[in-house]
């Protein structure tokens, strides 16, 4: 059986390479010829730890290839995965034009009975919509919903050792069930990880998972603001709350707001789905609003410290939305940088992996430097946005000696226990009481 992965981005490339790693024959197809060229020349267009070795091994062993001829790749396949982008529209709903285009191409090119697996995050009802698009194809196309839960930065491990695999297909669809079981068997050897359900529930599960996680973050971010007002410490609160087994310790970290290509758009899309059906999803809508407010937190702190930011040089450490990825989509750093530029400040930024993406966005409106300390030279303040490991334990004496003013704003609270105020810094974190 041949597998075709349509869309070779963060999800498609990882999924395609990992399926190949389990012995499957996979063609990754994408309409972006530059991306395919990079891959065919042995490069990897994104930064994702561990991916390069898996891609290289599977290409070398003949199980993985790349093409920009999407129809040709579909013609060979019995399983086509759709992993194209579903970005937000202006009204918050998901833009399904790429999914529709893939469905149409599949219908026009399928050469045998096959499954079309929707791996992209798509609103409830999309499976039914895609079925309508492919219904007149010359061979039966079984449309399956299989949302992806991998995390950028840990994507390979998440794909090969998933918590669960959600598969939505008709209860009596033996053809689809057999193919999906077989494809995921290698990552379910220790226990059956497939959670079978109807397509609508599978589609909704993805949005509910992401919104639940986003909600925890927004709630803790609100509580962090309250901590600052009442003299409490968000770390202590987090430990106290997270030690309750019913709550657990994960996704309770206060910070500069969540970013990335998933949480912001998926929360908005869920709210939009609710409205489409005459239901205001209050918690989800508020989660989104709280996050928008939180993304301004470091800028507000800078404003209250300096009042006038014109001509101030602000160093930014970390532009990606989280460590171990070069992805800057919806990153809180962008909100800060945009506000600083609008206020007339000068921005000097450093990020171990996201420089290229940030340069595409900002050109020469901000200065990017190779070494983290260079960003701090002559800076009036240093803002930590992404908790890359290399920023965890910097030489603070050196920082103090090269900065124009020793002002540290720690958006991830990674320096809050270092006694930086006692060392002569103006230090502030998110909801922390530090010394």
One-character DSSP codes across 225-241: HHHHHHT--HHHHHHHH
Q: How many of the chain's residues bind ligand NAD (CB under 6 A)?
A: 27
Q: Distance from first CA to last CA of the chain, Å, rounded? A: 62
Query: Which residue of the set 4, 82, 227, 262 is catalytic?
Result: 262
Toward ligand NAD, which CB reaches closer, 84 or 372?
Answer: 84
**Which residue from 31, 341, 369, 414 is in contact with ligand NAD, where contact means CB under 6 A?**
31
Containing H/E element for 1?
A: none
Q: How far apart are CA 117 and CA 113, in angstroms?
A: 13
User: Taking the C-alpha atoms of 383, 387, 390 and 395 in order, what is their torsion angle to the nearest 10 degrees?
Assistant: 40
Interaction between residue 9 and ligand NAD (CB under 6 A): yes
Residue with tokens 């972006």: 32
Q: Which stretch binds ligand NAD (CB under 6 A): 4-12, 240-248, 307-315, 353-361?
A: 4-12
Q: Return the number of other C-beta atoms located less than 10 Å from residue 416's C-beta.
A: 21
Q: Which stretch binds ligand NAD (CB under 6 A): 3-11, 17-25, 109-117, 211-219?
A: 3-11
Q: Give the burial string for 31-59 (b: 16+ CB within 10 Å, else e).
A: beeebbebbeeeebbbbbeebeebbeebb
Residue 414: CB minimum distance to ligand NAD, A: 23
Toward ligand NAD, which CB reaches closer, 15 or 416?
Answer: 15
Q: How far apart are CA 226 and CA 234, in angstroms?
A: 9
Toward ligand NAD, which CB reaches closer, 12 or 199?
Answer: 12
Residue 30: CB minimum distance to ligand NAD, A: 4
Interaction between residue 165 and ligand NAD (CB under 6 A): no
Segment 57 to 76, residues that bind ligand NAD, using CB under 6 A? 70
Q: How far apart are CA 219 and CA 427, in angstroms?
A: 24
Residue 262: CB minimum distance to ligand NAD, A: 5
Asked if 273 and 123 count as a contact pair (C-beta separation under 8 A), the reply is yes
Segment 385 to 404, residues that bind ligand NAD, using CB under 6 A? none
Residue 99: CB minimum distance to ligand NAD, A: 8
Toward ligand NAD, which CB reaches closer, 84 or 340?
Answer: 84
Q: Which stretch binds ligand NAD (CB under 6 A): 27-35, 133-141, 233-241, 358-366?
A: 27-35
Interaction between residue 7 and ligand NAD (CB under 6 A): yes
Segment 259 to 298, residues that bind ligand NAD, using CB under 6 A? 261-262
Q: How far apart are CA 59 and CA 26, in angstroms?
A: 10
Toward ligand NAD, which CB reaches closer, 9 or 352?
Answer: 9
Toward ligand NAD, which CB reaches closer, 157 or 242?
Answer: 157
x/- site string to ligand NAD, residues 83 to 112, per CB under 6 A?
xxxx-----------x--xx----------
Give the list of residues 6+ apart from residue 196 with CB closer than 8 angstroms, or none.
167, 168, 169, 177
Segment 122 to 161, residues that bind ligand NAD, using CB under 6 A? 148, 150, 152
Q: How far apart are CA 413 and CA 409, in angstroms?
A: 9
Interaction between residue 118 and ligand NAD (CB under 6 A): no
Q: What are the backbone angles phi and psi of residue 347, rounded to the nearest 5°? A: -115, 130
Residue 154: CB minimum distance to ligand NAD, A: 10
Q: Pick from 58, 4, 16, 19: which is nearest to 183 by CA?
A: 19
Asked if 167 and 145 count as a contact pair (C-beta separation under 8 A), the reply is yes
Q: Show the DSSP H helices in 22-145 as ranges.
A: 33-40, 51-60, 70-76, 97-109, 126-134
**Which residue from 4, 10, 272, 354 is in contact with ligand NAD, where contact means CB under 6 A?**
10
Give the list of residues 6+ apart from residue 310 with CB closer than 8 angstroms, or none.
343, 344, 345
Segment 207 to 266, residues that bind ligand NAD, using CB under 6 A? 261-262
**Which residue from 4, 35, 207, 299 is in contact with ligand NAD, where contact means CB under 6 A?**
35
Interaction between residue 328 and ligand NAD (CB under 6 A): no
Is 227 known to be catalytic? Answer: no
Q: How far apart are CA 399 and CA 394, in angstroms?
A: 8
The set of catalytic residues is: 262
Applying CB under 6 A, the residues found at the interface with ligand NAD are: 6-12, 29-32, 35, 70, 83-86, 98, 101-102, 120-121, 148, 150, 152, 261-262
């Amino acid at each position: 059986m041949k597998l075709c992965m349509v869309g070779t981005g963060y999800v498609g490339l990882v999924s395609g390479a990992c399926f190949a790693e389990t012995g499957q024959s996979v063609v990754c197809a994408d309409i972006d010829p530059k991306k395919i060229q990079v891959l065919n020349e042995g490069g990897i267009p994104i930064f994702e730890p561990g991916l390069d070795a898996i891609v290289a091994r599977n290409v070398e062993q003949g199980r993985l290839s790349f093409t920009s001829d999407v129809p040709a790749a579909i013609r060979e396949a019995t399983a086509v995965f759709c992993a194209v982008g579903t970005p937000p529209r202006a009204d918050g709903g998901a833009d399904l034009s790429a999914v529709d285009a893939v469905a149409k191409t599949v219908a026009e090119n399928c050469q045998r009975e096959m499954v079309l697996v929707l791996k992209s995050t798509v609103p409830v009802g999309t499976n039914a919509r895609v079925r309508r698009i492919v219904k007149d194809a010359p061979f039966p196309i079984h449309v399956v919903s299989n949302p992806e839960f991998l995390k950028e930065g840990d994507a390979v491990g998440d794909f090969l050792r998933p918590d669960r695999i959600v598969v939505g297909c008709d209860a009596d669809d033996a053809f689809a069930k057999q193919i999906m079981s077989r494809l995921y068997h290698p990552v379910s050897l220790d226990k059956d990880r497939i959670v079978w359900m109807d397509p609508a529930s599978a589609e909704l599960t993805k949005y509910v998972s992401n919104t639940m996680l986003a909600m925890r973050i927004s709630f803790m971010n609100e509580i962090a603001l309250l901590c600052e007002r009442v003299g409490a410490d968000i770390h202590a609160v987090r430990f106290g709350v997270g030690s309750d087994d019913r709550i657990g310790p994960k996704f309770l970290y206060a910070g500069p707001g969540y970013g990335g290509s998933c949480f912001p758009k998926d929360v908005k899309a869920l709210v939009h789905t609710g409205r489409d059906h005459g239901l205001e999803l209050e918690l989800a809508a508020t989660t989104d609003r709280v996050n928008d407010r939180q993304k301004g937190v470091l800028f507000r702190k800078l404003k209250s410290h300096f009042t006038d930011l014109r001509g101030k040089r602000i160093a930014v450490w970390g532009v990606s939305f989280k460590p171990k990825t070069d992805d800057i989509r919806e990153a809180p750093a962008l909100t800060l940088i945009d506000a600083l530029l609008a206020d007339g400040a000068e921005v000097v930024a450093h990020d171990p992996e996201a420089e290229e993406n940030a340069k595409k966005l900002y050109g020469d409106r901000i200065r990017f430097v190779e070494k983290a300390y260079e960003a701090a030279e002559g800076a009036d303040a240093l803002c930590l946005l992404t908790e890359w490991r290399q920023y965890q334990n910097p030489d603070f004496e050196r920082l103090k000696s090269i900065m124009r003013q020793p002002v540290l704003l720690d958006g991830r609270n990674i320096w809050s226990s270092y006694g930086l105020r006692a060392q002569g810094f103006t230090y502030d974190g998110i909801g922390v009481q530090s010394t």
